[in-house]
Amino acid sequence: GQINCGYYLDELDEDNGAIVIVPGSHRAPFRPPEGHPRFPEEKRVFARPGQAVMFDGCLYHRGAANRSSVRRRVCLMCYQTAWMKSREPFDGPFAQKIRETGTDQQKMLMGAIEKW
């Protein structure tokens, strides 16, 4: 599994886009639908600066729209076992360069894990 952690530098409220989660969805046998659908049982999570929010990485989640003039800064971290390949593709230009030219450890951290 994977644990996601958001460490909030700014307040997370209704106006600047709370985290929207669907309780129990981490047990669903399929991935969430594409886009940002709404679910009847979804909940909003708010945070103050300096607070961390942790949740199962398989929990359906999204950020609500920031409809304010206030920024919403967060430091996001994902924790998972080193031997498990991430579900995220990490396919931006920096990640691709690291997978091509980085050290073995850097390549592993960017998802370039050989099949066993």
Write out pLDDT tens, residues 25-71.
898 887 777 776 788 899 999 999 999 999 998 899 988 999 999 99
Torsion angles phi and psi, residue 93, rounded to 5: -60, -40
pTM of this structure: 0.69
pLDDT of residue 16: 93
Which pLDDT belongs to residue 114? 66
Which position has the higher pLDDT, 107 or 74? 74
Quote the mean pLDDT of the chain: 86
Exposure class string for 4-13: b at 16+ Cβ within 10 A, else e? bebbbeeebb
**What is the spatial distance between Cα 90 and Cα 109, in angstroms, rounded to a whole number?**
10
Q: Return the percentage of the chain with pLDDT > 90, whole number.
A: 42
Q: Residue 93 above 70 pLDDT? A: yes
> Which pLDDT value is given to residue 95?
79
With a cut of 90, say whether residue 1 has pLDDT above it: no
DSSP structure string for 86-105? PSS---SHHHHHHHHHS-HH
